[in-house]
Structure 1
């Protein structure tokens, strides 16, 4: 009986050992399954990170292209501003020349206006003198009524005609 009890003890030990091994294998399978899931999750994360990196790379390329386009536009605008500045400088020079010309013309106009006012002043004097002379002619001296101006008197005294023009008789010889 001792053999039988040993045998059953051995059998129990073997069953217990087998159960332990099955439990151990099951534990290891669970561990492998968990590790496999973690590896797959990590690979998915790596693939996702690779896609993110590719997307960021594409975004960087797109942004760089936009920067290049903006730089190109800035250069074009700077060239255009340079052209406009040179045109502005030319126009400023023309404006300055016109302003200088205007100042010179203003000086000339002032001189002409002054000359005109002087001429008008002289004209006024002449008109006054002419009017005075006309007045003198119209207002002849009462002596002229008694003077008989003949051609002989005119030859001796030519101013008599001016003094008493209405009484002068032109005698044809």
Structure 2
């Protein structure tokens, strides 16, 4: 019986040793799990910190975008006002250009008419007037009224060749 007890004790000792080994293995696994959980916890804290920082950056960027958006709206209004102003000025320029074109056309027509009139008058001045041919003007008359030369260019020739036959002041 002792032998049986010794055998039984030996089996139980092996069982206890086996259980002790298993416990050491489980405790090691538990320590590893605790380290893994602690690492995960630190990773979660680090991720939460990064998320908080990213949230702050997003908020700051949203505030900046809001400021830029309001500034953009002001600039858009200014651009619209400038475009409207440019359109108005273009309309004014178009009207002025049309008026200038009309004026230039009228001026060209008037210039042509006046040029023809001037040429006609010059021709009339150059033509010998029958009145000038019969006028007897002395050099004294020409001195008193030099415009007589303009009216009758041939008077100068006549005045030089003929002397005053008429009394002074009578033509």
TM-score w.r.t. length of structure 1 = 0.73
Distance 2:61 2:127 in 1: 98
Find the partner of 2:8 among 7, 18, 24.
24
Cα distance change of structure 1 residues 31 and 145 upon mapping to structure 2, 3 Å threshold:
same
Runs ≥4 residues deviating over 3 A: 141-144
- 1:121 maps to 105
| Pairing of 1:31-110 with structure 2 (within 5 A) | 31-110=15-94
Higher relative contact order (CA 8 A, sep 6+): 2
Corresponding residue SS for 1:42? helix
Instruction: Indicate how the Cα distance of structure 1 residues 150 and 50 shifts in structure 2: closer, same or farther if over 3 A, else same.
Output: farther
Q: Compared with structure 1, are the counterparts of its residues 103 and 76 closer, same or farther at alpha carbon in structure 2 (3 Å cutoff)?
A: same
Unpaired runs of 5+ in structure 2? 138-146, 156-168
Unpaired runs of at least 5, structure 1: 1-16, 152-160
Instruction: Give the number of the structure whose alpha-carbon radius of gyration is greater.
Output: 1
- CA shift, 1:122, in A, is 2.1
Deviation at 1:52, TM superposition (A): 0.9
- For the aligned residue pairs, the C-alpha RMSD in angstroms reads 2.6
Q: Distance in 1 between matches of 2:136 and 2:106?
A: 37
Pairwise CA distance, 1:50: 0.9
Cα deviation, residue 141, structure 1: 7.5
* Deviation, structure 1 residue 30: 0.4
